[in-house]
Structure 1
Amino acid sequence: MDLSEPGQQDPGPAVGAQQVGSAVPGGRHRQHVTRADVAALAGVSRQTVSRVANGHPSVIGSTRERVQAAMRELGYRPNSAARALRYGQFKTIGVILHSLSATGHSDTVQAIAAQAAAEGYAITVIPVDIPTQDSVLGAFTRMGELAVDAVIVFIEVHLLDAGTVKLPPGVRVVVVDSDAGDRYRVVDTDQAGGTREAISHLLELGHETVWHVTGPETSYASQRRAQTWQTVLEEAGRPVPPPLHGDWTAESGYAAGLELAQEPDCTAVFASNDQMALGLLHAFQERGKAVPGDISVVGFDDLPDAAHFAPPLTTVHQDFAEVGRKSAQEVLRQIHEHDVPRSGTDIVPTRLVVRSSTAPPPLKR
């Protein structure tokens, strides 16, 4: 008798259980092992196997151990989706992002995965190559099909504040480095603080003003940095030069640098990321402009290679891994506390790293 529940008899092995032959010498297993296979090997019912797989407390210890041993021998893996439908949890966090190869994204995703794994969760990643309203909505729909408990989204552009993007009921959401209106929790790098520190550094060195190479106009981070650049200059009573628009690539920074090399009053430039700053350095060197002798350059990101640019780049350091940890911690908190998504922003601090690409302007040396 299988005492899986008090007073209930085990109906015995399932019909067809004699077909078990899943376990073979050498520990190899045949594919598609079923509950019936496990039940036959353990000498219990399929219902008991299901109870053991779902962690039901009614199964006595010796029976549970026998079933678990049969599962291991046969290589049986319980259907987590079916279990989730019964117990209301999939133990999976979805991650929607613009591109895994984008600056810092791999560090952020790795930190999300580590934090999730520490609490028994897995992650499912869906890249969105071209972030449009339809593509993001499609990614959300796909996440619903994959059955996740929460979603972390970082796609840069202003999409989540539009009413047309809806998530399945009950799914927890955290948005990274973007705008979520007043519907979802946001984890954001201190875009404004880092930019303010960069511009203030250049003004304190004695530069009359600071030129700016922006990122894409659709980027939330780029917009925040550009807005702060302009605000700091206006607060200091300095002229605000016309911004040059880039697209995060070194090529766009190079093109902007060729233009700025022809501006006689340009002695300092703030690039919205390190890759565009690298392009600036290339253009200035090509046009005979010494950095920092003629023009100072500051970037944003603090890429691992930034310390090895020629010259080493002064830049704003942002902690991509901490963004990932905070994002995962917040969605896990929402899951554990059965909390609905809430608005508000958690800010991850930045810091200015001063290297050799900045100095006082030529006339004030």
Structure 2
Amino acid sequence: MADVARRAGVSAQTVSRVSNGYQGVVPQTRELVLKAMDELGYRPNSAARALKLGSFHTIGVITFSLETLGNHRTIQAISAAAAGAGYAVTLIPVDLPTHGGVEHAFGRLEELAVDAVAVIVEVHLLDRAKVVLPRGVPTVVVDSDAGDAYTVVDTDQADGARQATRHLLELGHRSVRHLAGPESSYAAQRRVDGWRDTLLEAGCEAKEVVRGDWSAESGYEAGRILVADTECTAVFCANDQMALGLYRAAAEAGRRIPEDLSVVGFDDSADTPAYSPPLTTIHQDFAEVGRRSVAAILEQLRTGEQKPGTSIVPTRFVQRASTAAPRAGS
């Protein structure tokens, strides 16, 4: 900073004001300082500035899984919204939902110098590990359930499932099976609830769900069970990847989509229009989840207060070509 001051012919205080973005510096003087910085290759020490100001402009994101599409797109959305607000994101993955793994993740918060935390985990797994979210750190829980203790941003999982199931019932299907996500998933259970409630309200039987692990391969294995049920004319899948696996199982069993079997997915992933036939699905607005999560974090940073409550992001039904009325006699 002293070198820049000498090169620009100004005081070190003026250089400090320019590097920290303070107003009130004469434009011509600011240009001299910026030119000197460029000539000398000077870059402000962001770490020292953060210590001085007490803010790192960094949000920590803790997640158990980087493999699922939902988590991947949620992290992308949070990163984009954070960047728009001038914040960086530090990813803190937890390999296994164990006591030690979770404790280590939260312990790293102090080392990584973050201002706030977005938690994309199944909160009941935290309960099982007997871990509490850090006190005094602005925290938002994303797509899970944190009770009344924290700010939560959640997609309307149950309503998305209701929209999917209602669509199939309105087409005339009376046997709508569900290819569900893993039992450990809060989102998967909400989708099961929405599917089951809609069927029961319509006076239809809700047969036992068949579960996968969100992958296309698990959808194929579960799909082989579903397509063997000759009474089944429609399947609501808890995500698009498992629907892709079901497509393969249906093809191998000689059941055409949608003539013999209607299929609805969940997520509206980028490649669903390329499925054969294009997949009818439920759109999740991950970008809005990211915006609301970061907005809630910034509000907590501004006020210093945790505001418990849930912000629900709506889902949207997207009709393509994988659903049709059941054939006569089905």
Q: What interval of TM-score do these two structures reach, taking the shorter chain for normalisation? A: 0.7 to 0.9
User: Comparing both chains, which one has the higher relative contact order based on Cα–Cα distances under 8 Å and sequence gaps of 6 or more?
Assistant: 2
Matches within 5 A, 1:25-44: 35=1, 37-38=3-4
Aligned-partner SS, 2:92: strand
Matches within 5 A, 1:108-187: 108-156=74-122, 158-160=124-126, 164-167=131-134, 169-187=135-153
| Paired amino acid for 1:338 | T
Following the alignment from structure 1 to structure 2, what is the Cα–Cα distance between the partners of residues 226 and 136? 27
Aligned-partner SS, 1:346: strand
Aligned-partner SS, 2:117: strand
Corresponding residue for residue 347 of structure 1: 312
The reply to whether residue 225 of structure 1 matches residue 191 of structure 2 is: yes
Segments of 5+ residues of structure 2 without an aligned counterpart are: none
Q: Alpha carbon RMSD of aligned pairs, Å?
A: 2.9
The alpha-carbon deviation at position 190 of structure 1 amounts to: 1.0
CA contact (8 A) 1:195 1:229 kept: yes
CA contact (8 A) 2:37 2:43 kept: yes
Aligned-partner SS, 1:363: coil
CA contact (8 A) 1:214 1:222 kept: yes
The alpha-carbon deviation at position 60 of structure 1 amounts to: 9.0
CA contact (8 A) 1:91 1:149 kept: yes
Comparing 198-207 with 272-281, greater Cα deviation is found at 198-207
Comparing 109-118 with 291-300, greater Cα deviation is found at 109-118
The alpha-carbon deviation at position 299 of structure 1 amounts to: 0.9
| Paired amino acid for 1:355 | R
Aligned-partner SS, 2:324: coil
The alpha-carbon deviation at position 157 of structure 1 amounts to: 5.6
The alpha-carbon deviation at position 44 of structure 1 amounts to: 7.5
Q: Any idea what the Cα deviations from partners look like across 1:115-173, whole Å, max 9, x if unmatched?
A: 22333222222333434443233222223211111111213463455652332x53211
The alpha-carbon deviation at position 200 of structure 1 amounts to: 1.0
Aligned-partner SS, 2:52: helix
Following the alignment from structure 1 to structure 2, what is the Cα–Cα distance between the partners of residues 93 and 176? 14
| Residues 348/47 of structure 1: CA separation in 2 closer, same or farther (3 Å cut) | same
Matches within 5 A, 1:296-307: 296-307=262-273
The alpha-carbon deviation at position 229 of structure 1 amounts to: 1.5
Aligned-partner SS, 2:224: helix
Following the alignment from structure 1 to structure 2, what is the Cα–Cα distance between the partners of residues 242 and 56? 63
Following the alignment from structure 1 to structure 2, what is the Cα–Cα distance between the partners of residues 161 and 78? 42
Counterpart selection for 1:252 from 210, 218, 222: 218
| Residues 325/364 of structure 1: CA separation in 2 closer, same or farther (3 Å cut) | farther
Following the alignment from structure 1 to structure 2, what is the Cα–Cα distance between the partners of residues 210 and 61? 68
Corresponding residue for residue 21 of structure 1: none
Comparing 50-59 with 339-348, greater Cα deviation is found at 50-59
Following the alignment from structure 2 to structure 1, what is the Cα–Cα distance between the partners of residues 318 and 20? 52
Aligned length: 329
| Residues 281/62 of structure 1: CA separation in 2 closer, same or farther (3 Å cut) | closer
| Residues 51/135 of structure 1: CA separation in 2 closer, same or farther (3 Å cut) | same
Counterpart selection for 2:155 from 186, 189, 198: 189
Aligned-partner SS, 2:219: helix
Following the alignment from structure 1 to structure 2, what is the Cα–Cα distance between the partners of residues 119 and 257? 44
CA contact (8 A) 1:99 1:127 kept: yes
| Residues 133/201 of structure 1: CA separation in 2 closer, same or farther (3 Å cut) | farther
Q: Which has the larger radius of gyration?
A: 1
Following the alignment from structure 1 to structure 2, what is the Cα–Cα distance between the partners of residues 58 and 205? 67
Aligned-partner SS, 1:211: strand
Segments of 5+ residues of structure 1 without an aligned counterpart are: 1-34
